[in-house]
Structure 1
Amino acid sequence: MAGIGPKLKVSIDLTQAVIVHSSTASGVEAKAVDVLIEEIAKRTGIVWKRFHETAGAGTAPIIVVGIVERLPEGFGSEWPEDMPELQSEGYMLRSDGERERPVVWVAGADARGVLYGVGKLLRALRWGEGFVELTKPLRITTSPYSKLRGHQLGYRPKNNAFDAWTVEQFDQYIRELALFGANSIELLPPRTDDRPSGPLMKMEPLAMMVRLAEVIESYGLDTWIWYPNMGEDYSDPDTIQAELAEREEIFSKLPRITALFIPGSDPGKMEPDPLFAWTEQIAQLLERYHPQAKIWLSPQIMTYHSAEWTEAFCRQVRREPDWLGGVVFGPHVDVPLPELRRLIPERYPIRRYEDITHNFHCQYPVVDWDVAYALTLGRESCNPRPLAQKHIHNVLAQHAVGTICYSEGINDDVNKFIWSDQDWDPRTPVIDTLRDYARLFVDPERADAFAQGLLALERNWVGPLAANADVEVTLRQWQRMEQEAPLGVLNNYRFQMHVLRAYFDAYTKRRLHYEKELEYAAKEALRAAPQTGSLAAVDAAERMLEQARTVPVSADFRQRCNELADELFARIGYQLTVARHFARSQGRGAFIDAIDAPLNDVRWLRVQFARIRQAEEESVRLARIEQVLDRTNPGPGGFYDHLGSSSGFRRVDPGAGWEADPGYLASPRIGHAMHVLSLPEERQIELGGIPLAWIAHANAMLDTPIVIRYDNLDPDARYTFKAVYIGETKGNTPRDCWARLTANEGLTLDEEVPIRAGTVTIRECEVPSEAVRDGKLTLTIVRLRGFKRLNVAEIWLIPESESLTNQKQRMGSP
């Protein structure tokens, strides 16, 4: 934690500075000096000279670097007596520009502290070609809040960039993470739930793993290994032998392993008792090569929620095996972190394994994300979320020793540095981190503009896109930076990826308005069917919708996005398309492939047009047109809500809400289901097409209910309730679930709703008159068993006056 003393007013020109460090400096302490000199040289062309004492250093300003106890003679006695005590990995920065010969001190509690102090100094400097200066005096004494601070860097085709990197690029990135306080890097073994190799890889995966471990060791950081259980049957002796042999090869080749993290699932599917028995065998093997290493386990359950599973896991932990280093909280852990801390013996620390890389269908989704973004940017896009990430970090920080974040590439680059800074000191304002990020990685002259631009990109995702006036302003800010920035900034991948987001967001908003207007115009053409004839009306509507493709809007924005995508691939291996850039899939970061995804109901309407044309009689065709126009109409006195929209979700009880429950373990949220668009054609025909409303839905995890409230109902009326349930994606494990619908205080309306994976379920039931006797109605939908996510997209409350038969005809229900 930081202690900041009185401020001085003297800046220091460090262009001709020299470095003074102990002659006994070695290892990471010496590496820190190398890093300082090298990073300044990259940015300015200046190569600072180094000395072990001031003699021979001339009259240039001095930068003293080293461990507090062995600073060069004459430079360790001037620290103030009331200076806060440094803890492990902490550092002190001081500057004195009032001397005849200005001095800057970088003093660490230990070798790592020196490296982190160098990082903070680099983040504070103003630099450019041929000059370096410290514009503000330094009076910082700080030690880390969290013992564990790091990130996972995977080398596999699933990543959206890392598989294209060289050892040198990884080295630079690991260095940059260290400059923001990271003390751990987590690697992946060659075999995971992914292809073993890809077309962009520069090196065989195991060889790269060994080289990366050597790089991590060179910075004095800890090497963690994420190692899932990929075997099919761990009771089979042949499987055990093969799995242990694979691990032994890795353990024997890596220079040092600090810890091994084995997830309970995602991937893997072992029950707790065999999981612990198998892990004990791994621990014996690990101890042979890395005696100090421990194994950490997570109670991740990917497919179903079971209190028995969690209890069995905790029972094994309570046996307190010596090989267990701690427990990991991350995606698919069904127990809230404070509760997990209560269940786990105090001797075992808890590490966070937080998903900072995904936008939806993940641990911490973007709050109430607009479906237009979900359809285009998808699950894994460039996603700076600084304010959200700080909140997620801080609300749970006290329950864990720190974090090694889960990542799938560089799309979450900003989020990584936010987490590192928050793990160091949760009091750090987000804007300070963003300015440091911009000063060090982009351009000190534009640090505030760049930082504010990142905050603006986060605001682009707040609320309904159609009503978000910030999007156009954000683009204009980034365009101005584009116009004024020097070539070095324009070619900087961290600048380019965020400029791309600004263009993409603005393009998506313009398309959203345009395509919605085309849909309105198409429906106007359908409304004229009684005068123009049904077939002519359908033809006119179809031509209107086709203009989204034939007369596109803002084509220059689209072109700029593609140009930037190509430049990012060439510069950093960022894979934003499948065909041009070799991305694993659209869902794995190739969001440029979805840049023109339809943002209106054209998919559904085309199915309806085909149905209309199939009818031989004009009266039937006109009736079907009415069904199209009335799809969501519940009739006079009725109610329709799309629970996946910000307006429809207001009918849902929010529970604890995002502020208290950012992982939504006990609160419903808005979720997204892209897989619905890929339903088999026969099922789409059976369902009458896939409305856009089915892509977004209310989602509840575990046993959290979806509670829906109605007021001002007619107490004398009878109602029918209709709901659209969205099944989960099909996978290798069962993902069906069953739900129950009740009214008010437990009156059962639908005893058991089967919600099949990979499809959509539509149910209707009558609401007893006694349920609305006071003009109010509370409906509760809760998962009974099966897969642990419950999804409800649309609901209707239809009054008796609108008969069920008529309603089915009007809405085109199957």
Structure 2
Amino acid sequence: MNKVLAKTIQICLVALIGLIGHSQEILFKKIAIITGNGASQIELNIADLLKQRLEENANIDVRLIQETKELQYVSGELQILLGTPERHSLLSAQLKTLRIPELTPLAPGREGFLLKSVDNSISLILIAAGLDDRGCLYAVGEILRQLVYKEGQLALPNKLNIRTAPAFEIRGTQIGQSSVAKKLAQVRDWTEEETQGALLDYALAGANIFAAEDDSMYHFIKSYGLMTQTKFGANTAGAKVPMEWNAFESIGRSGYVCLSVPEARDYMLEKCNEHFKDSQFYDLIEFYGGDGGGCECDKCNPYGLTFIKLVEEMAAIIHKYHPKSRIYFTNQKFDNEDDNAIFQYLQEKPRDWLWAWGYGPGSDATTWQPGHRQTHRMDLFEYPGYGPYGLYPKEIIHQIPSRHKLIYYNEITHWKYAQHAYIQMYPRADRNGDLPPHWSHEIYNRRPDQFLTMVYNRLTFYAWPEYYHRVFNDLLRYGNGDITHSSGHHDHFNQWMWQRLLWSPRTTVDEVLTEYSETWFGLEAAPFMAIAILQLEKNLEEKEGVPLDKKQGIDEYFDLVQQAGQVMPSRIMERNWLWRMYMQKAALDKYVKLNVAQQKELERQIEEDVAAYLQNDRTIALKDISNKLKFPKETMEMAALREEAKRLGEESNTIYGQRNDGYFNLQHDYIGLGWLKRQLTRAQNTDTKKADELLKMIVDYANPGEGGFYDNLGTGNTAPHVINGYPYDHGQPYVSQMLSEENRPSQRSMHFTQNEDQGVSLFYTDLDPKASYSVKFTFVRPWFQERYASRMNQKSQKIYADDIVLADNVELPLQMSDFFTYSIPRSATKDGELTIRLERAHGVAIGDRISTEQWRNSGGWGTIVSEVWLLKN
């Protein structure tokens, strides 16, 4: 069965299941939302929200009324009894008449609700009873998901009976547009109403807490009975302070104070007092740890203990003004010593001021994530259990007293170089030289497509249903909930899925996808979109042997989203910014695929010409071959895709201030055509023998010749002879300017060492003791941003063959790679074995512990190499 036919059958089956699920329905054209006479203002606000959302999505007559003594039946009208039973007499009477068990904290549960349809042959009654105010809000969310628009009418399942409540106490996220969207995607600012609408979308999906950025947002959140959260940096100065107060932050950032300086400590306590004495009441207050600063100095060590003791004093200040605020902290970027000190501190005596341990990016002692936690709990790896993500949360809840909770701050907003994202490069060794055990390599072997990663920012539009479903289930089994980190609205699916799983964690991926697609795209388009989103996740990943230009999934995703748009009713399509975002992604990915294919075809033609030239076909001159090497012109198909992405982006920006940043970043040298051009230019300007050597690399790049060996020292590449070193992770943040795009892909990735005495090393056996050998390297060094460059004094390295110096103080070219070849003395290979090793230059990574750590954490390298050829002469 071919893939197209299989996909079509799959879509048909999904659609059939959907039709069966919606076959027993009652249709109506009018809705009455009936609130109780004792309804709270929050209940009334929620009822009004339901009215607004119904009127937005359908041309239906909706009226909002208060209860009367008896129900006033209207033919063809859906009457929704919305509220809490104790404040709604008609609703309470219906529960008694129908002998429906009362709502309790266990059935359905806190923040829960009951939805039950009652057909009395005159009109349809829908009981929408909340255990509390928030229960009413979530009942409204379920009503909106259950209602289906059909031919000018609304349909509701005939025998609807849902009694449910959330599985986790804390369910939240952050709302807003990202600075990346505003700068790179050039989107307009959201209005206040749009920001509020985005917040309510997640609240209707089950969220109950949000960060309140200002008083207006605070009051809006509270008007729906939701909780608010704020953050405070224990050592974040937020103002210019005396130089002697400055912290030794892990990557040398300014703006943080050393808490071992008494005056700085007093300053932060006073700042906390001033901040909270006149502030609003916040349900949760987070003190963030290392990701916001911290201090590496010896006086603060272990910083975790210094930090938590100050937080205890700050909590006392807060509780003086807001005794019911719950306090938690995050251990981001703390090391083992820091965490262990906090464990011991919490175990010493009851710490009633502390509610929870917060777990966010850099908090995990059993995974190597960007942000560089400096030590890891290797003792926890003896038995894998459910895998590395769950090992440390399990350890935390074993170590902290039972009065404290574990709350997550999961980062699901970046698709690369982030907590649960594509790591991009295999992890570097930590301070102790530790690396992940072999059985956890799966999470580090997930890498972003090497071409797509050149186009899209870390904060770009994407969706990861399967992998994030796995992450959620690995982690949340140990916690009390999650307030996910979101840096924009590009992570819409991820955030929405997270809220639905926090409500019902055993929901399957397919169930989440179906519900999401029906909610946001309508019943007709849902089957196509559900499968498309699954395919999108697959498209983003680098697949060995299946480069972007060979990925059929790019075209399949495009076709699926396009078909969804074709069957989507006009009333949904008209304002559907979200479908436009998925379609923009489809058009842009396909554009990049075609562009990569163009560049590869040009490369193939150049290689054929060069091969013919080397076979003494000198009818074509090197100059003419070089002149062919111009970036391919945009085809009509590519131009149409680019214009489609432009149109869709303008529409989504107009509708909702959203657009894909990739549209503005499509022009790239994806495969290193610049290297080809340089190689041809060099061949034209040298003698025939050297020219032929340069040209042979074009047609047979990686071939080391008979008896030779080639190692490509990048992430996921074949480097069988490496015995020391690990792929370079480029520091944080990863930026495109660090290396030139004119490098071949194999030249852009590399192995490195940091401040270890032994540099990158390769070991060879079974060499011919009678032969002579030479070694060729590809060297390049990265450019650093200004804030890191001052501490990067490394430019050169030393090269050894066994203990024989081949080259001393070899300066590496900046950004654009080059080749370095050295003859190996026969004395080094006469035993049939050889070690090639690099050694860092004098003065590199030499200094005090703090400056060395800052150097390491900023992407410092001691030795570095991209490729190695051992050549038998």
- Residue 198 of structure 2 corresponds to residue 173 of structure 1: yes
Task: Give the letter aligned to residue 476 of structure 1.
Answer: D
Task: Give the letter aligned to residue 56 of structure 2.
Answer: K
Cα deviations across residues 548-573 of structure 1 (Å, max 9, x unaligned)?
24668622111211222222333322
Post-superposition offset of 1:716: 6.8
Cα deviations across residues 142-200 of structure 1 (Å, max 9, x unaligned)?
22121111112256735659982221111111111111000111245xxxxxxxxxxxx
- Residue 261 of structure 2 corresponds to residue 234 of structure 1: no
Check the 8 A contact 1:728/1:757 in 2, yes or no: no
The equivalent of 2:632 in structure 1 is: 548
* Aligned 1:47-446 pairs, distance under 5 A: 47-53=62-68, 54-59=70-75, 60-71=77-88, 72-77=91-96, 78-80=98-100, 85-97=107-119, 99-127=121-149, 130-135=152-157, 137-154=159-176, 157-158=179-180, 160=182, 164-187=189-212, 209-228=214-233, 229-231=236-238, 232-234=255-257, 251=276, 255-270=280-295, 272=303, 273-301=305-333, 306-318=335-347, 321-336=351-366, 337-338=392-393, 339-366=395-422, 367-446=446-525
Secondary structure of the structure 1 residue equivalent to 2:506: coil
Task: Give the letter aligned to residue 469 of structure 2.
Answer: K
* Shift in CA distance, 550/240, structure 1 to aligned 2, threshold 3 Å: same
Structure 2 regions of 5+ residues with no counterpart?
Answer: 1-20, 239-254, 297-302, 367-391, 423-445, 798-802, 840-844, 846-851
* Shift in CA distance, 672/155, structure 1 to aligned 2, threshold 3 Å: same
Task: Give the letter aligned to residue 291 of structure 2.
Answer: D
Post-superposition offset of 1:635: 2.8
Task: Give the letter aligned to residue 48 of structure 1.
Answer: R
The equivalent of 2:664 in structure 1 is: 593
The equivalent of 2:39 in structure 1 is: 25
Task: Give the letter aligned to residue 193 of structure 2.
Answer: E
Measure the CA separation in 1 of the matches of 2:753 and 2:475: 21
Total equivalences in the alignment: 734
* Aligned 1:545-624 pairs, distance under 5 A: 545-549=629-633, 554-574=638-658, 576=660, 590-613=661-684, 615-624=685-694
Check the 8 A contact 2:742/2:816 in 1, yes or no: no
Task: Give the letter aligned to residue 63 of structure 1.
Answer: I
Measure the CA separation in 2 of the matches of 1:141 and 1:548: 60
Check the 8 A contact 2:361/2:411 in 1, yes or no: yes
Secondary structure of the structure 2 residue equivalent to 1:501: helix
Check the 8 A contact 2:704/2:710 in 1, yes or no: yes
Name which of 636, 653, 665 aligns with 2:706: 636
Post-superposition offset of 1:259: 1.8
Check the 8 A contact 1:674/1:695 in 2, yes or no: no
Measure the CA separation in 2 of the matches of 1:520 and 1:237: 67
Higher mean alpha-carbon deviation, 220-229 vs 81-90, is at 81-90
The equivalent of 1:458 in structure 2 is: 537
Post-superposition offset of 1:350: 1.7
* Shift in CA distance, 536/562, structure 1 to aligned 2, threshold 3 Å: farther
Check the 8 A contact 1:676/1:694 in 2, yes or no: no
Secondary structure of the structure 1 residue equivalent to 2:197: helix
Higher mean alpha-carbon deviation, 532-541 vs 371-380, is at 532-541
Measure the CA separation in 1 of the matches of 2:867 and 2:585: 37
The equivalent of 1:787 in structure 2 is: 856
Check the 8 A contact 1:145/1:423 in 2, yes or no: yes
Task: Give the letter aligned to residue 467 of structure 1.
Answer: K
Post-superposition offset of 1:626: 3.2
Higher mean alpha-carbon deviation, 718-727 vs 634-643, is at 718-727
- Residue 554 of structure 2 corresponds to residue 471 of structure 1: yes
Higher mean alpha-carbon deviation, 218-227 vs 143-152, is at 218-227
State the TM-score, normalizing by the size of structure 2: 0.71
Task: Give the letter aligned to residue 74 of structure 1.
Answer: A
Post-superposition offset of 1:390: 1.0
* Shift in CA distance, 677/69, structure 1 to aligned 2, threshold 3 Å: closer
Check the 8 A contact 1:370/1:645 in 2, yes or no: no
Secondary structure of the structure 2 residue equivalent to 1:113: helix
Secondary structure of the structure 1 residue equivalent to 2:107: coil
* Shift in CA distance, 525/481, structure 1 to aligned 2, threshold 3 Å: same
Higher mean alpha-carbon deviation, 722-731 vs 755-764, is at 755-764
Post-superposition offset of 1:34: 1.9
The equivalent of 2:737 in structure 1 is: 678
Task: Give the letter aligned to residue 267 of structure 1.
Answer: G
* Shift in CA distance, 502/672, structure 1 to aligned 2, threshold 3 Å: farther
Post-superposition offset of 1:219: 1.6
Task: Give the letter aligned to residue 276 of structure 1.
Answer: I
Check the 8 A contact 2:713/2:750 in 1, yes or no: yes
Measure the CA separation in 2 of the matches of 1:674 and 1:227: 24
Measure the CA separation in 2 of the matches of 1:105 and 1:757: 72
Higher mean alpha-carbon deviation, 145-154 vs 545-554, is at 545-554
Task: Give the letter aligned to residue 603 of structure 1.
Answer: G
Task: Give the letter aligned to residue 234 of structure 1.
Answer: V
* Shift in CA distance, 438/566, structure 1 to aligned 2, threshold 3 Å: same
State the TM-score, normalizing by the size of structure 1: 0.76
* Shift in CA distance, 617/634, structure 1 to aligned 2, threshold 3 Å: closer
Post-superposition offset of 1:391: 1.1
Check the 8 A contact 1:299/1:313 in 2, yes or no: no
Cα deviations across residues 341-373 of structure 1 (Å, max 9, x unaligned)?
334333321221112111111112243321011
Post-superposition offset of 1:639: 4.6
Measure the CA separation in 2 of the matches of 1:82 and 1:715: 82
Secondary structure of the structure 1 residue equivalent to 2:413: coil
The equivalent of 2:15 in structure 1 is: none
* Shift in CA distance, 509/702, structure 1 to aligned 2, threshold 3 Å: farther
Secondary structure of the structure 2 residue equivalent to 1:55: coil
Structure 1 regions of 5+ residues with no counterpart?
Answer: 1-6, 189-208, 577-589, 654-666, 741-746, 804-814
Measure the CA separation in 1 of the matches of 2:815 and 2:134: 53
Higher mean alpha-carbon deviation, 456-465 vs 627-636, is at 627-636
Cα deviations across residues 484-523 of structure 1 (Å, max 9, x unaligned)?
4454415421111001011111112122222111112122
The equivalent of 2:872 in structure 1 is: 802
The equivalent of 2:592 in structure 1 is: 508
RMSD value over aligned CA atoms?
A: 5.1
Secondary structure of the structure 1 residue equivalent to 2:172: strand
Post-superposition offset of 1:26: 0.6
Task: Give the letter aligned to residue 556 of structure 2.
Answer: V
Measure the CA separation in 1 of the matches of 2:111 and 2:759: 46
Measure the CA separation in 2 of the matches of 1:155 and 1:575: 11
* Shift in CA distance, 394/492, structure 1 to aligned 2, threshold 3 Å: same
Percent of aligned pairs with the same amino acid: 22
Secondary structure of the structure 2 residue equivalent to 1:596: coil
Measure the CA separation in 2 of the matches of 1:8 and 1:475: 28
Post-superposition offset of 1:220: 1.4
* Shift in CA distance, 300/489, structure 1 to aligned 2, threshold 3 Å: same
Check the 8 A contact 2:524/2:568 in 1, yes or no: no
* Shift in CA distance, 306/276, structure 1 to aligned 2, threshold 3 Å: closer
Measure the CA separation in 1 of the matches of 2:762 and 2:154: 62
Cα deviations across residues 68-87 of structure 1 (Å, max 9, x unaligned)?
55553421222555997221
